[in-house]
Structure 1
Amino acid sequence: MNGRALIVGGGIAGLAAARGLLDRGWEVEVRERHAGPPDIGGALGMWPPALEALDRLGLGDAVRATGSVPTAARLADPAGRTLVRLDRRAPAARLVARSALLEILAGALPAGTVRWNTPVTPEEAAAGAGGFDVVVGADGLNGAVRRGAFPAAPASRGLGTVAYRGAVPGHVATFTETWGSGRLFGVTPMDGRAANWYAAVRADLAPDRGADPVVLLRRLYGGWHAGVARVLDALPGTAVDRRTLYDLPAPASYVRGRHVLIGDAAHAMAPNLGRGACESLVDAAALARALGEAPAVARGLARYDRERRRPAARLVRASRAMSGLATATRLTGLRDGTLRTVGALLG
């Protein structure tokens, strides 16, 4: 079947859902409060499920033509000693600049599909804003659709961590994540010209939102191994994004009437497994297929909910557990020793 869909949110989930529904013959309007694709920078891991979803949207080859695949991946301690090599058996993710992915997604839509600078209030979202057959909430964990149409949905939960991220000039070939006490630091390839970096810190170690992030990061990670030091030395003059991290427990359903949640609006998760953007793309492709193949909207939305809610909820729980382990402050010696043993067994 086909119909008219309003998508609230012009980020990864919303743009991908628009492409999928247009391919299925739907009329689509996307409303986004920002003036253009919201871009907070950095690189995103496109795991095989994300690339398969992009293939279904006809965009897989375009995404594969950008970014890079790490030549190696490892988990290390602050001295640079390898705890676990992560690339021995796991399928490699392609690291793609967020801005490049958004450009591909936005460029795949006909002109006028996205109405930029057009916020939607929770009241408008709940009302459906103009007789649409489906209203898709793709506007994040505190978005208008979730607040307006899902009043009983669980509130977001703090992870107890603050994240910093950005990019510095210079290419790296390997993916390295370093775990210390109450903090971690990651460095990944991005686009051949810049290296992506990210840090997560227990909130009590970075309490001052107004602090100079470069000074703070140098204090928190000073003395760590050379790979981290090179990034810290390159930080002055680059943009640093700071945000407090939250996730979302699963609601009873991603669907309420003609309203449906996708992406972070449905299952915002800790970034520690690198699956947030991936799952947004999987959501978008699954929603488009379900609505395109079902004989009625209600049947299509129910199919989407069955396919996506439980797998995404498992990833939310796993990502939260990994966040706690990676930024633990107690028994870190035991943690690292266990990881070395696991790494040796896997090697």
Structure 2
Amino acid sequence: MRDFLEDESSSASMENDSSRSFEIQQSLDSDEEQHFDGIVRSSASSTTPNGRSLGTDLASHNNLLRIGVGILLLSCFLYVVVDSLGQRHVETALLQFLGWVQQHPYEGALAVTTCYIVATIFFVPGSLLTLGAGFALGSAFDNPAMGVLIATCAVFVGASLGSIGSFLLGRYLFRDCVYRLAESYPLFQAIDRALERNGLKIMVLLRLSPLIPYNALDYMSGITSIPLRDYTIALVALLPGALMLSFFGASASSLADSTTSTNTTVKIITIVSGLVFGGGGVYTASHYSKLELDRILQARSPNDFTEILDSVDSLDSVEVFLPSADDRRHDDS
């Protein structure tokens, strides 16, 4: 009996010691948190030489940067729209630029890449630039295939870098504006939910079957959960369109350079055949990509736990039943 009491006493003292140690550790953790909070508050409340807080200055600079870049983007966009309805200075400059590319193909390819980056960020459609690059570079080489290859590479690199730039701007600089832009595309909400589960596949399908315009998709992708890595890999799906448009431009250039009727007839047959097969391939890929994308967006599987969670408005509505202490005692007995 005495041994039993001694064991009980020792176990009680051990419990008291452990509880006291736990309280001491909690006190130390609390002191560390208070110390860290104090450092953060003191850093945030530290003042600059003009008497303003550091946090206020940073927020002010960020707002000014957003306003400045937003005004620049909007001004360029409005200028392109107004100019296309009037004097067409942009179109004239583009034709002059393509003439220079034709005379300097390698430097021109780098210039096409740079122009495509700017055009993508500023919402300028790049289809005409791709056709023009194919036309200019296709006539700059004796072998039109070389011109098509260089034009495709230049356009793809420029479009990819421009899309990544738009993605980063939408994610970090213009997040609020992009949210308002996404509201005009009701389908985007379903796409956003699908991106959470399979971002890379969905983004590839969107590139092959553009349910949302490319430029808008670049910015709106920034407010989704897709990682930058998956978004960048999915840009490979831009290659078919770039190749097809470059081939169209080079084909027009090849016809313009024909000297005899025989050469013209042969080139027309070759070009038409290439356009039919190439266009058919792109259309087929786009069609089946759209079907697959629709299937994913409309899928409702009762066995998919993710879909079940999406249908629950709040976790509070989920009831979990666990056995009570009385039930456990009853089972033990």
What TM-score results when the alignment is normalised by the length of structure 1?
A: 0.27
- Kindly indicate whether structure 1 or structure 2 has the higher relative contact order, using CA contacts under 8 Å at least 6 residues apart: 1
Point out the structure with the larger helix share: 2
Q: Which one has the largest radius of gyration?
A: 2
What TM-score results when the alignment is normalised by the length of structure 2?
A: 0.27
